[in-house]
Chains A and B, each alone.
Chain A
Amino acid sequence: MASHEETKSVHHHTSLQKKIKLKQERRQHNVSFVMMILLTIVAFAAIASDAVSNQVAILFILVLAAVQVFFQLYVWMHLGHKGHEFPMWGIASGLLIAVITVGTLMGLIW
């Protein structure tokens, strides 16, 4: 009987921990959503306004895009979490080939 109580309280304890964790996660998700909205607005604004030169603006919005990808992959898709080692390899390799491919098709043609 006592052990039964114990497991119950342990279960209760872990589920409480889980709840706290999920609550934290929810906050992270909300923060990253707001950040992404902001980044998007800044990107559009940078292009719409004439304050920045086009070359700088392009570089700037590409950096913003990269930051957004980071948010998506790490916060929303949990790529940084435990048990994502092989997904990490998969995405990293894909990105490596992707960068090479884009660079080539942009730069090595005439």
Chain B
Amino acid sequence: MDVGQRLTDQNFPESPEKATLEGKNKFLGFWLFLGGETVLFATLFGTYLGLRNSFGKGPEASEIFQLPIVFIATMILLTSSLTSVYAVLALKENRVKAMRGWFFVTLLLGVAFLGLEIYEFVHYVHEGHTFTSGAFGSAFYTLVGFHGGHVLFGVLWIAALLVRNSGRGLTLYNSPKYYLFALYWHFVDVVWVFIFTVVYLMGKVG
């Protein structure tokens, strides 16, 4: 079968994302990439933890962190993780409309998260907590910013996928792409779980 051909309910494979060798390769390669990303973020977390009490000329973490915003951001990202799971379930059942809908909700939630993060950063900068105000500031913005950059990349990624495949059904060629995005999005959420725990909550109690 041609990989670019639209799948029907009759010939729909159990796991369309892994039905071709290319799909299998992407699936495994992406998981391994996430293993590498784990080390990447671990290095950032380690650096942050090493420097988290070195405030330099900036304010202390417990003075500036605003838990309500962080809580809302966490809820948004958790929910977006759920919606991308729903999208993958729809993908497995060849319900294209539902899948695209859930991915679109994911995208919107991602944008909302980014908006909150930008608002938060602006607020901190006004409080004197900046990238150059001390080692803590550098480590904070680098760690949280790297995560935010990942969210931004994910938003652009799913937007491109949705636009490119609008009006097209699922094929053996685009199924792995959708699936990989969902994996990526969960991973970004996993990282955030540690950010709100290690950076914000631990920062609040010192």
A/B touching: CB–CB < 8 A: yes
Overall SS of chain B's interface: helix
21 chain-A/chain-B pairs, Cβ below 8 angstroms: A40-B196, A43-B197, A54-B205, A57-B201, A58-B201, A65-B197, A69-B194, A72-B189, A73-B186, A76-B186, A87-B35, A90-B35, A91-B31, A94-B38, A94-B39, A97-B38, A97-B42, A98-B39, A98-B45, A102-B46, A105-B49
In the bound complex, do residue A86 and residue B50 qualify as a contact, i.e. CB atoms below 8 Å apart? no
Distance, CA A6 to CA B179, complexed state (A): 33
Interfacial residues of chain B within 166-206, with CB under 8 A of chain A in the complex: 183, 186-187, 189-190, 193-194, 196-198, 201-202, 204-206
0/1 string, B86-97, CB within 8 A of A gives 1: 100100110000
In the bound complex, do residue A44 and residue B71 qualify as a contact, i.e. CB atoms below 8 Å apart? yes
With contacts A33-B82, A91-B38, A94-B38 taken as known, whether A18 is within 8 angstroms of B14 at the C-beta atoms is: yes
Distance, CA A29 to CA B92, complexed state (A): 15
B76 to chain A, nearest CB (A): 11
In the bound complex, do residue A57 and residue B205 qualify as a contact, i.e. CB atoms below 8 Å apart? yes
Give chain B residues whose Cβ lies under 8 Å from the Cβ of A90. 31-32, 34-35
Interfacial residues of chain A within 93-110, with CB under 8 A of chain B in the complex: 93-95, 97-99, 101-106, 109
B3 to chain A, nearest CB (A): 20
Distance, CA A57 to CA B97, complexed state (A): 44
In the bound complex, do residue A36 and residue B85 qualify as a contact, i.e. CB atoms below 8 Å apart? no
Nearest to A48 among chain B residues (CB) is: B67
With contacts A36-B78, A61-B201 taken as known, whether A105 is within 8 angstroms of B35 at the C-beta atoms is: no
A: which residues have CB within 8 A of B? 11, 18-19, 22, 25-26, 29, 33, 36-37, 40, 43-44, 46-48, 54, 57-58, 61-62, 64-65, 68-69, 72-73, 76-77, 83-84, 86-87, 90-91, 93-95, 97-99, 101-106, 109
Tier of interface size on chain B: 35 or more
Distance, CA A106 to CA B36, complexed state (A): 20
In the bound complex, do residue B197 and residue A86 qualify as a contact, i.e. CB atoms below 8 Å apart? no
Overall SS of chain A's interface: helix
In the bound complex, do residue B39 and residue A97 qualify as a contact, i.e. CB atoms below 8 Å apart? yes
With contacts A40-B75, A94-B39 taken as known, whether A76 is within 8 angstroms of B85 at the C-beta atoms is: yes
Give chain A residues whose Cβ lies under 8 Å from the Cβ of B46. 101-106
Nearest to A33 among chain B residues (CB) is: B82
**When the two chains form the complex, which single residue of A25, A33, A69, A83 contacts B190, counting CB atoms closer than 8 Å?**
A69
